[in-house]
Amino acid sequence: MLLHSKIEGNGKPLVILHGYLGMSDNWKTLSMQYAQNGFEVHALDLRNHGRSFHSDEFTYEAMINDVLNYCNHYHLDRINVIGHSMGGKLAMFLAITHPEKVEKLIIADIAPRPYPPHHQDILDALNAVDFSVQKERKEVEEVIAQYIPDFETRQFLMKNVYRKTPEELDFRINLKVLTEKYDNIGIALPENTVFQKPTLFLRGEYSNYIKERDEQDIQRHFPKAEIKTISKSGHWLHAENPKEFLAYSLSYLQS
């Protein structure tokens, strides 16, 4: 099955991989700007996310195969890749297993190390929604707000809500599988795996996803890595400071 995507522009292929519970729509504005700067942008919806297919299998191995299948379908031989969070970890796995496929790699706010489960409040919030009771978006957001006080995070989650029928809302994500298989996301890159091409790691100034102690680990797996910090931003650095994110990423992609 083929992943859903939004394709814009002409030029070098640039594949964008969103994070956990995200979708290609999260990259709408940046995708347009990359397209205006000479790239054919493929913003993907990963399996169990956005408008892509739902599956009981949710592993990095399965997602790598999805991306390769997508690239074969569109005849994308060598790609530039931007991946955020879970999408960044997927991009790393793709690069170490199929280095011939990846030309330039940009990893947004994730390191190669393992991450313990830390989205429990978000999963609790989403699983508390009952669409047979909550019929309007406002009612859904009120349920989520009981768990998630942060407005920005709620807005990000609410992007997943759509009208399945005139009477009923639903989530675009496959919430059941994303909840059950959550532990698969936090795994580390295997020891002794190395990607020898240039790689740019971008971290948010206020985020704790890439710490100083991670820098050695990054250099071990990605010996040609550069690490840059996006100011005034947390984990959603591409949304919180898109101007700086675009400047760093474009400069790297065009160099």
**Which amino acid is located at 143 in the chain?**
V
Alpha helices in the chain (DSSP H): 28-36, 60-73, 86-97, 120-127, 137-145, 151-158, 175-180, 214-221, 237-240, 242-254
Which of 50, 45, 87, 88 lies closest to 70, judged by CA?
45
For tokens 């997927």, the residue is 90
Annotated catalytic, 85?
yes
Q: How far apart (Å, rounded) are the C-alpha atoms in residues 151 and 182?
A: 23
Among the options 42, 84, 221, 235, which is catalytic?
A: 235
Residue 241 vs residues 40, 141, 233, 236: alpha-carbon distances, Å: 23, 25, 6, 8
Among the options 5, 85, 207, 249, which is catalytic?
A: 85
Which of 149, 115, 114, 145 lies closest to 128, judged by CA?
145
Instruction: Catalogue the long-range contacts made by 146-152 (C-beta closer than 8 Å, 24 or more residues apart).
Output: 147/121, 147/122, 148/121, 148/122, 152/236
List the catalytic residues: 85, 235
